[in-house]
């Protein structure tokens, strides 16, 4: 009966050894992929934030110009 389990045991032992051998490589690749994904996400977030910031800056500039124009008109009326 032990002869029938012997190939199964050898296969399982081989699988375990292969896992032990490959695990550092898998961990390394996993870490590198995670870093790449994190970097890409950071880049996209930075791009989105820069775009939104540009919109806000334009709006602030428009408000500033309008405020200056209103102040100029107010000063003309006060004279």
Query: For the segment 51-71, what is each residue's pLDDT rounded down to a tens digit?
Result: 999 999 999 999 999 999 999
Question: Which of the residues in the chain have pLDDT under 70?
Answer: 1-5
Q: Give this prediction's pTM.
A: 0.54
Q: How far is 65 from 61, CA to CA, in rounded Å?
A: 6
The per-residue b/e assignment along 25-52, b for 16 or more CB within 10 angstroms, e otherwise, is eeeeeeeeeeeeeeeeeeeeeeeeeeee
């Amino acid at each position: 009966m032990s002869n029938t389990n012997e190939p199964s045991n050898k296969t399982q032992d081989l699988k375990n050894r292969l896992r032990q051998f490959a695990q550092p490589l898998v961990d390394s690749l996993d870490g590198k992929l995670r870093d790449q994904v994190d970097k890409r996400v950071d880049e996209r977030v930075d791009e989105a934030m820069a775009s939104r910031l540009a919109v806000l800056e334009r709006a602030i500039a428009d408000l500033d110009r309008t405020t200056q124009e209103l102040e100029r008109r107010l000063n003309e009326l006060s004279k």
